[in-house]
Amino acid sequence: MTLAIFDLDNTLLNGDSDWLWGQFLVEQGIVDGDHYESENLRYYHAYQAGTLDIFEFLAFQLKPLADNNLNTLHQLRDAFMLEKIQPTITVAARELLDRHRQQGDTLMIITATNSFITGPIADELGVEHLLATEPELTNNCYSGKVSGTPCFRDGKVVRLKQWLQIHSCSLDGSYFYSDSHNDLPLLNEVKHPIAVDPDERLKAHAVTMNWPIISLRGAF
């Protein structure tokens, strides 16, 4: 079994689902607009710079899940998928996934964004296996805490190796597509690392390492 692994935000999506969810919550009046947008931007810049404190960010990002009941959250998520996510899914991304399906590869999305947001996106893309940051669910309510290892930077490697062990699989012949230098720990683990519309740090590293650089947006 050959794994074809894909980052989600700014890789398969022409946008960041985490960021878009925050914007959507602001537009719906679920969170305080000025404060939430300011904090969301601060964390996004830290992510781009490679200095993000993932636990601090998750305490912020998961709070709206804890502050709202599941029925409300599911209604919001349905609208979010239609309004924010569908427009970010490119034909090129779907075609790339289809090429790996036709090769007989096993498809996986691995993302730091929590599974409440990303589960329906993986379903929409027809990707069976999803490794995402898991929000803790207690008595049918989100606690605002993380369950297990956040799926971020080295945490992606940890989570993937756990999955491989459970499924008795290896990374032989594996692919990983990502846009971000934050994913270098996992890019260095696979047989075929591929930079997709990469940030400047990943692009420079990919050039140095002679990794393929592709675009799902027509930018390269």
Q: Is 219 a domain residue?
A: no
If you write DSSP's letter for every residue of 47-93 in order, what string do you get? Answer: HHHT---HHHHHHHHTHHHHHS-HHHHHHHHHHHIIIIIGGGB-HHH
Q: Give the pLDDT of residue 48.
A: 86
Q: Is 100 a domain residue?
A: yes
Nearest to 5 by CA among 148, 144, 138, 157: 157
Which residue out of 9, 16, 18, 197 is catalytically annotated? 9
Q: Is 220 a domain residue?
A: no
Domain span holding position 78: 3-214
pLDDT along the chain (220 residues), means of 10: 97 96 95 90 90 94 96 98 97 97 98 98 98 96 97 98 97 98 98 98 98 83
Q: Is 83 a domain residue?
A: yes
CA–chain centroid gap for 140, Å, is 24
Split into its structural domains, the chain has a count of 1
pLDDT tens sequence across 104-113: 999 999 999 9
Q: Is 191 a domain residue?
A: yes
Residue 9 known to be catalytic: yes
Task: Provide the CATH number for the domain around residue 150.
Answer: 3.40.50.1000
